[in-house]
A = this chain, B = another copy of it.
């Protein structure tokens, strides 16, 4: 499951997990970024922001280790909480590059989106320090790249993507769509 910051992915995720459990299925939600940081900590990293400062090779190594851990999970349903890309000074880093996809072999993608105005409002409320950097034009650009990168993931893996428009006040509709996309 991917979604740029401000689309309301976290709320969506917790509701989805509840429903999957009510179907009697075992479910495991893993955050790709958190797992990367945990492994990096074992190698001496202290701050999550330092992740970005690693060389591309080091980052890809970390991604590979995380991907292998995820591929080894035994739960009936594994949800990967991640991003189509991570915004950094170098630009948009792919959250699910081909070398990771070949290891994890995801069966379904969910791409969470929202109206750019709603994303804007959520970011302005959440990230009061960086308000001046938040612009509608950038959010629209991020949504465009999210669709583009997920499209590439879909063509590479052959697995489908469910596009979810998470409209303010209509979380339950969005949750229903995700649940039906995994056949529950």
Task: Answer yes or no: A123 CB below 8 A from chain B CBs.
Answer: no
In the complex, the answer to whether B148 meets A56 with C-beta atoms within 8 Å is no
In the complex, the answer to whether B155 meets A149 with C-beta atoms within 8 Å is yes
Q: How far is the CB of A83 from chain B (nearest CB, A)?
A: 12
Contacts of A149 in B (CB 8 A): 151, 154-155
Rounded to whole angstroms, the CA-CA distance of A141 and B90 in the bound complex is 26
Q: Which of A153, A160, A161, A182 has the most CB of B within 10 A?
A: A160
Partner of A141, one of B108, B152, B163: B163
Per-residue CB proximity of A93-130 to B under 8 Å, as 1/0?
11011111100000111100000000000000000000
In the complex, the answer to whether A91 meets B60 with C-beta atoms within 8 Å is no
Q: Which of A88, A109, A161 has the most CB of B within 10 A?
A: A161
Partner of A160, one of B88, B151, B163: B88
A residues whose Cβ falls under 8 Å from a Cβ of B: 56, 60, 63, 85, 88-94, 96-101, 107-110, 137, 141, 144-145, 147-163, 165, 180-183
Instruction: Give 15 A-B pairs besides A90-B108, A91-B181, A152-B156 with Cβ atoms closer than 8 angstroms.
Output: A85-B154, A91-B108, A91-B163, A92-B154, A92-B161, A93-B154, A97-B155, A99-B158, A100-B158, A145-B147, A148-B150, A149-B155, A152-B152, A152-B155, A156-B156
The contact sample of 15 A-B pairs, CB cut-off 8 A, is A56-B107, A90-B108, A90-B181, A90-B183, A91-B109, A91-B162, A91-B181, A92-B162, A94-B158, A96-B155, A98-B156, A151-B152, A152-B156, A153-B155, A156-B156
